[in-house]
């Protein structure tokens, strides 16, 4: 067997996703066994490698970036933890450490809970879970190293009060664990005792919470022995105590004279600072954005909003595979010259057969528009899917789900090998908990031109998100339509002010994730006469929150309902980043249908169908849509499943809020028997749910007027954009899209019907 698995050996990311002329973006790359690579800036037009697609079209931009750069490997400091800077006040001859712990991988191996231990492990102390899953304290003195364990494995996902003490005078060590819950034959209560000679000296060492502080390289803070699980209310005292005394003090430690620090994770929940409520304010910083606003050991199930009872939400869930910012050194930067056309660009990195494209958006100059139309790049949805792992983790179950074999790419294989590249909001962490936070400050290997989704389409042949949206650029270029590009993050930051410069907004193929500022702005703009072309499916579905301090970091709680690859724990439906109730927008009085005319109806990932026109398509109000198009069947072709109606589809539903003036212009046919509705459509499972037997699972092409002369045109299908370039753009999907765009660009208000 001579074939080898394909391997991706150059990866990178940028500090920004979108920028305007005069602004600078920094690119960071990591190479494996590559001494030198070439970089250029290119404008991306199309990367449709389907045998019947348009192929790879990019235009090189003359810039000072063009040239060769030395390749180097840059490590990723994965793992979330809390870092408290070293301070003389953190030192003591004797100590007691205690906290509430909900371990999720107690048998993983050594995991630090609270540690001031140097990198070599030969100086300091560390409260930890040992290799047998038991609570332990390691003391490293000038005379030796001792690790004292309870010898009893902690129960996974059971709260325990754990702690340990060291008496500097006698050298005595005590450790304990007190589970909140026991079962006959399963009592994880444990104690241990031992001793060590010598004195501890942790001077100069930062204190780590949920990990042992490791080496530091510039902004990169590596950690050692990271733990998985929820930690709550760590305490540090300057004298030795036994379990009973420490437990008695745990809830109210401030009266204890020996208190050194008492961290309260229920304070400043929306940010990355952890507060010490003790007298010396040994505040710390969280690294890699662990999940906050988590239920604590005392959550009583009566309160669901962390803001209403912060004391019951004093836990942080740490993961050894969290990554918020790789912190890599910059390889090169690019300052966008004045006059560079708004569009989708990339830094192209090439070394022999290895390459990477790091995408970015050039916006119109700040405060202005250079066109009447805007492509609103659904970057929040790209971020939700960033480094998605379903195909590499699900084996044959994915075969059955998507109706064909998956096709793993070099990107998929690297993601599988490198958990430090982090996960998508569809993934589970290594400890089995759902991934609630995603960041773009890391290589996002599936947000790349030419990259298809491993489990979507036979052999992973269908594009997804970023690469599925690029053909729209190709279409606009072909027709000579002027169009600016901005991202969801731009909309989140600038709101209505951004949209108010444009007459038409076009979405991508799958704008699924919206923050409240984004949705409010889009809704408000529509009511002021804006014209929206929703060119996708399953849009406006989930509510997300962007981090209040770190740009490019986003949070999701998969709560209550909707298509969920994981489900948030009870009591953890409220977002930490903004305190809002997370989940589906339609569960929060913001039905998709009211905005778009259509809303999520179902999904399948094998083939696409087509649309058949309805009588409404002959309504004079919609005459402009089909001008010059006599075909009854629309979109029975395309590179995404062979049709324009498919993958994830939306239908008009007046009972769910579609405006009464919505015209259903065409309705889909030909979806397969593995198209199913989402859980929000299934109140009770029935043996006729699939699209062959269930007429509710369909895509619909709709049009409706909004206030002040505005309008909405929706395709209700992820596959639509994949049909635009078929037959050299000479097809009825391109025709309909061009007709709608031309009319929407016309300032003539749409009359009230």
Partner 1 sequence: MDAIDPARKDLVEEFRRNPVGRQSGDLRRLLNTIRRHPDLPPYVLVCTKAQREWRLATKPGGKGAVTTLLDHPPFNDPLEAEWQVFRLRWKALTGEDLPHDR
Tell me which residues touch partner 1 (CB under 8 A): 1, 3-6, 49-51, 53, 389, 391-397, 399-400, 403-409, 413, 416-417, 419, 430, 450, 452, 454, 458-461, 606-607, 670-674, 692
User: Using a CB cutoff of 8 Å and minimum separation of 24, what contacts does 349-352 make?
Assistant: 349/10, 349/12, 349/29, 349/37, 349/38, 349/39, 350/37, 350/38, 350/39, 350/40, 351/9, 351/10, 351/31, 351/34, 351/36, 351/37, 351/38, 351/71, 352/34
Least Å from the CB of residue 461 to partner 1: 6
For residues 49 and 309, which CB has a smaller minimum distance to partner 1 in the complex? 49
Q: In whole angstroms, how close is the CB of 482 to partner 1 at the nearest point?
A: 31
Q: How far is the CB of 408 from partner 1 (least distance, A)?
A: 5
CB 732 within 8 A of CB 613: no
SS3 state of residue 628: coil
Cα 237 to Cα 718: distance, rounded to the nearest angstrom: 58
* Secondary structure class of 643 (helix, strand, coil): coil
The residue among 50 and 292 lying less far from partner 1, judged by its C-beta, is 50
Q: Least distance in Å: CB of 56 to partner 1?
A: 10
In whole angstroms, the minimum distance from the beta carbon of 608 to partner 1 comes to 10
Which bin fits 85, alpha (ψ -120 to 50), beta or left (φ > 0)?
A: beta
The least distance separating partner 1 from the CB of residue 4, rounded to whole angstroms, comes to 8
Q: Which is nearer to partner 1, 276 or 321 (CB)?
A: 321
Answer whether 332's CB lies under 8 Å from 69's CB. Answer: yes
Nearer to partner 1, 80 or 467 (CB): 467
Among residues 648, 80, 103, which one has the least CA distance to residue 321?
80
Closer Cβ to partner 1, 419 or 583, answer by number: 419
End-to-end CA distance of the chain: 68
Of the pair 96, 111, the CB lying nearest partner 1 is at 111
**Residue 571: closest CA among 314, 293, 289:** 293
Determine contact, residues 439/423, Cβ cutoff 8 Å: no
State the nearest-atom distance from the C-beta of 166 to partner 1, in Å: 37
Q: Which is nearer to partner 1, 195 or 673 (CB)?
A: 673
Complex with partner 1: residue 168 or 460, whichever CB lies closer: 460
Shortest separation between residue 730's beta carbon and partner 1, angstroms:
22
Q: Report DSSP letters for 418-485, one per residue.
A: -GGG---TTSB-TTS-B--EEESBS--TTSSTTPBPTTSSTTS-SB-THHHHHHHHHHHHHHT---EE
Of 521 and 718, nearer to partner 1 (C-beta) is: 718
Per DSSP, what are the bridge partners of residue 233? none
Phi, psi of 628 (to 5 degrees): 80, 5
Q: Residue 152's beta-bridge partner residues? A: none
Minimum separation from the CB atom of position 639 to partner 1 (A): 9
Q: Compute the least distance from the CB of residue 452 to partner 1, in Å.
A: 7
What is the Cα–Cα distance from 683 to 690, expressed in whole angstroms?
A: 15
CA within 13 Å, CB half, 649: 36
Which lies closer to partner 1 via its Cβ, residue 304 or residue 413?
413
């Amino acid at each position: 067997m001579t074939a080898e698995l394909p391997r991706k050996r150059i990866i990178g990311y940028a500090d920004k996703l979108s920028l305007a002329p005069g602004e600078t973006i920094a690119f960071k790359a990591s190479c494996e066994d590559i001494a030198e690579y070439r970089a250029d800036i290119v404008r991306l037009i199309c990367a449709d490698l389907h045998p019947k697609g348009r192929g790879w079209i990019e235009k090189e931009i003359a810039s000072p970036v063009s040239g060769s750069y030395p390749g180097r490997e840059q490590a990723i400091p994965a793992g979330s933890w809390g870092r408290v800077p070293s301070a003389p006040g953190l030192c003591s001859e004797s100590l007691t450490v205690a906290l509430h712990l909900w371990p999720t991988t107690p048998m993983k191996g050594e995991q630090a809970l609270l540690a001031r231990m140097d990198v070599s492990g030969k100086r300091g102390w560390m409260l930890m879970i040992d290799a047998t899953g038991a609570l332990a304290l390691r003391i490293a003195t000038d005379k030796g190293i001792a690790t004292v364990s309870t010898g009893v494995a902690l129960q996974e996902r059971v709260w325990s009060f754990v702690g340990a003490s060291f008496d500097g005078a006698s050298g005595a060590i005590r450790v304990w664990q007190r589970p909140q819950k026991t079962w006959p034959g399963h009592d994880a209560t444990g104690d241990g005792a031992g001793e060590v000679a010598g004195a501890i000296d942790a001077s100069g060492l930062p204190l780590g919470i949920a990990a042992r502080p490791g080496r530091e390289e510039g902004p990169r803070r590596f950690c050692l022995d990271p733990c998985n699980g929820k930690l709550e209310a760590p305490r540090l005292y300057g004298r030795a105590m036994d379990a009973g005394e420490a437990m008695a003090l745990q809830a109210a430690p401030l009266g204890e004279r020996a208190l050194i620090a008492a961290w309260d994770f229920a304070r400043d929940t929306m940010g990355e600072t952890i507060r010490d409520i003790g007298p010396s304010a040994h505040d710390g910083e969280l690294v890699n954005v662990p999940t906050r606003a988590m239920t604590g050991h005392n959550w009583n199930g009566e309160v669901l909003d962390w803001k209403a009872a912060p004391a019951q939400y004093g836990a942080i869930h740490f993961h050894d595979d969290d990554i918020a910012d790789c912190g890599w050194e910059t390889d090169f930067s690019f300052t966008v010259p004045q006059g560079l056309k708004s569009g989708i660009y990339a830094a192209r990195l090439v070394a022999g057969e290895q390459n990477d494209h790091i995408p970015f958006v050039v916006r119109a100059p700040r405060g202005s528009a250079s066109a009447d139309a805007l492509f609103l790049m659904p970057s929040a949805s790209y971020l939700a899917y960033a480094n998605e792992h379903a195909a590499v983790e699900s084996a044959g179950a994915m075969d059955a789900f998507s109706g064909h074999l998956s096709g793993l790419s070099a990107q998929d294989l690297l993601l599988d090998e490198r958990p430090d590249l982090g996960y998508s909001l569809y993934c589970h962490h290594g400890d089995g908990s759902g991934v609630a936070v995603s960041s773009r400050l890391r290589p996002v290997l599936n947000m790349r031109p030419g990259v298809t989704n491993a489990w979507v389409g036979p052999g992973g042949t269908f594009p997804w998100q970023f690469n599925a949206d690029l053909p729209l650029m190709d279409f606009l270029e072909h027709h000579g339509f002027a169009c600016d590009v901005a991202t969801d993050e731009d909309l989140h930051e600038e709101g209505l002010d951004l949209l108010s410069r444009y007459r038409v907004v076009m979405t991508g193929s799958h704008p699924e994730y919206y923050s409240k500022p984004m949705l409010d702005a889009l809704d408000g703009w529509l009511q002021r006469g804006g014209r929206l072309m929703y060119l996708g499916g399953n849009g406006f579905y989930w509510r997300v929150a962007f981090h209040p301090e770190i740009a490019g970091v986003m949070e999701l709680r998969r709560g209550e309902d909707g298509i969920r690859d994981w489900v948030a724990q009870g009591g953890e439906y409220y977002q930490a980043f903004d305190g809002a109730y997370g989940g589906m927008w339609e569960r929060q009085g913001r039905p998709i249908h009211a905005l778009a005319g259509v809303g999520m109806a179902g999904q399948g990932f094998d083939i696409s169908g087509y649309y058949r026109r309805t009588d409404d398509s002959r309504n004079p109000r919609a005459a402009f849509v089909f001008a010059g198009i006599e075909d009854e069947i629309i979109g029975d072709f395309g590179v995404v499943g062979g049709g324009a109606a498919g993958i994830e589809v939306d239908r008009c539903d007046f009972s769910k809020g579609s405006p009464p003036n919505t015209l259903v212009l065409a309705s889909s046919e030909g979806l397969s028997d593995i198209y199913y509705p989402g859980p929000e459509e299934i109140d009770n499972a029935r043996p006729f749910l699939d699209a062959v037997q269930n007429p509710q699972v369909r895509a619909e092409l709709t049009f409706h007027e909004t206030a002040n002369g505005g309008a909405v045109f929706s395709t209700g299908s992820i596959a639509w954009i994949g049909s635009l370039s078929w037959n050299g753009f000479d097809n009825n999907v391109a025709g309909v899209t061009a007709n709608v765009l031309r009319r929407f660009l016309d300032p003539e208000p749409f009359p009230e019907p």
